[in-house]
Every structure is written in structure tokens, then in C-alpha cells.
Structure 1
């Protein structure tokens, strides 16, 4: 039996905006984009991890009532959700490339713990740490 995590979901305020960011700026590809009434199942994949999907979901019906959806959107916008981690080969070079693409960083590359990391947020407020693999580790 094969088991593992296939999709991790993020709450976003606007799925088209999130799609433009993750595909257009970060280089993810669209895996699934289907709708059912007001609900849209939208997932993207990092090219180096084809078996893993990142879901870009709007809080709301049919999963959440209006008050819960509004509370979730407010938490995301404040950066209150735990950050995700993006591994890169060269943090400084990726920082320069993504900055040129318009990605707004809240932490420039910093060397610590034997590696280099930087921080950014997506247009909805979801936090990311971008970490360079330590020498000799993958």
C-alpha cells in the first residue's frame, strides 16, 4: 500500500491572483483546475516534485460558513499561518531572480546554521521560507 501526503492546501483570497503568483513568478505548473458551482479545486506542482500538489483554496462554502471564511482570510492576511519551506540550490541567486519578478521579500538572504535563507509572502499573506541546502546535504 502506498501512502503519503499528496496535497497540502493554502487559503488564498483570490485564486486567479494566487495562480499568477505560483505559476508566473515561482515557476510551479498547474495540476488541476476544475470548478463545481462556486467551488474551485485548484492545485499546482513544483516541477521537481511531480507527486506533490499545493492546493490554492478560497475559504468559504461548501467547506466553511461566511463568518469562518472571513476569519480565515483575516488570519492569512496577517501572516498568522505557519510558513511553508521552499528548498533552493542557491538562495541569493533565487532571491535576485524572484525579486526581479516582483516577489516581495520580508527577509533578505541571511547566512545562519550553515545555510542561507530568506523569507517572502504570497499575495494572500501566506509566509514562505526559502532555504538553501547546506553544503553536502540534500
Structure 2
């Protein structure tokens, strides 16, 4: 029986830029930042909530070959990959400002 969702994943074109947005602008915190050699395992999470994390993954090996990665990168630039994240806040307008 499934009990919870631990990791969500979204594709990003540039991990440093994504990190600046999710941490610098949205206020998330870095969960893991590990160079695995074949990829960078970069996760962020809502401060204090390490039970749910978001993998900021660049398209490429090991999950796909270069041809597939090129297609995903093209879709990303057109906003066609889905990958939505939904956050909660007590005051959406104040959080936005």
C-alpha cells in the first residue's frame, strides 16, 4: 500500500538558474546537491519540510539518451512539458509581493 509521495521531479534547462529561482525568489531551501558524475542530483524543498522534495533535473543521461534529451529541451523552451508544482500559503498576495 502506498503511503506518501516523497520526490517530485521537474525538468530544467539550467540548474544554477533554476536554483536561483526556487531558492532565491521562492524561498525554498536546497535539500541535496550531489555530483554523481553522470548527473547532478539537485533537490529543493519547502523550508522545514524534508519529507517532500523536488528534483531539478536537466534532461539527459542516465534517464534518456541525447536524442530524447534534445526533444525534451525543445519542449521545455515552448512550455510543453507539464511538470506543475502547487504550493500552499496563508496569504498568496503577500507571498507574491
TM-score of the two chains, using structure 2 as the length reference: 0.87
Q: Which residue of 2 aligns with 1:51?
A: 51
Give the number of the structure with larger relative contact order, counting CA–CA contacts within 8 Å between residues 6 or more apart: 2
Give the match's secondary structure for 1:85.
coil
Provide Cα deviations, 1:55-94, integer angstroms capped at 9, x if missing partner: 0001101211111111111212212233321212112112
Q: Which has the higher helix share?
A: 2
Q: Which has the higher strand share?
A: 1
Q: Which residue of 1 aligns with 2:91?
A: 90
- List gaps (5 residues or longer) in structure 2: none
Contact 2:72 2:81 in 1 (8 A): no
Give the match's secondary structure for 1:84.
coil
Q: Note the aligned Cα RMSD (angstroms).
A: 1.7
Q: Hey, which bits of structure 1, 4+ residues long, moved more than 6 A?
A: none
TM-score of the two chains, using structure 1 as the length reference: 0.63
Q: Which residue of 2 aligns with 1:69?
A: 69
For the pair 1:34 / 2:34, whether they are aligned, the reply is yes
Give the match's secondary structure for 1:67.
helix
- List gaps (5 residues or longer) in structure 1: 97-138
Aligned residues: 96
Q: Which residue of 2 aligns with 1:3?
A: 3
Give the match's secondary structure for 1:75.
helix
